[in-house]
Amino acid sequence: MQKFLVLYLCPTSVIEGWAKTDPQTKKELEAKMQDEWKKWTQKNKSMIKETAGAGKTKRITSKGVTDTKNEIMLYSIVEAPSHEEAAKIFEDHPHLQIPESSIEVMPANVLPGMK
């Protein structure tokens, strides 16, 4: 089995717009998505090894550390026989119901001597 890094992305403008959504509407839609996410996770639990939310971002360069924003909302670590099989399970993921959202799946290649 190979390991893959999965990034759940959404434009910051969409998140900012969501923050302005009517609280009752927001609560109902979040509950629906959480239920669908749990069902999706249960269906694919043998491949999903870890999922977590991404918090506030710091960018580090040779000039120092600064606060920044990016589109990463969450990440997962997935184990699958191939890149194609890892990507395929995300085709019906509830995250894709968020406008302009996407999911990226990439091999997590261990660097020699870094394990």
Predicted structure pTM score? 0.90
Position 56 in a domain: yes
The mean pLDDT value for 9-31 works out to: 91
Position 10 in a domain: yes
Query: Which residue type, as a one-letter code, is found at position 70?
Result: N
The pLDDT, as a whole number, for residue 71 is: 95
Number of domains the chain contains: 1
Residue 111 pLDDT level (bands cut at 50, 70, 90): confident
Domain span holding position 70: 2-17+46-107
pLDDT for residue 113 is more than 90: no
Position 78 in a domain: yes
Please report, to the nearest 10 degrees, the dihedral formed by the alpha carbons of residues 98, 99, 105, 111 taken in order.
Answer: -90
Position 26 in a domain: no
- Of 92, 101, 102, 96, whose CA–CA distance to 15 is shortest? 101
CATH of the domain at 82: 3.30.70.1060
Position 55 in a domain: yes
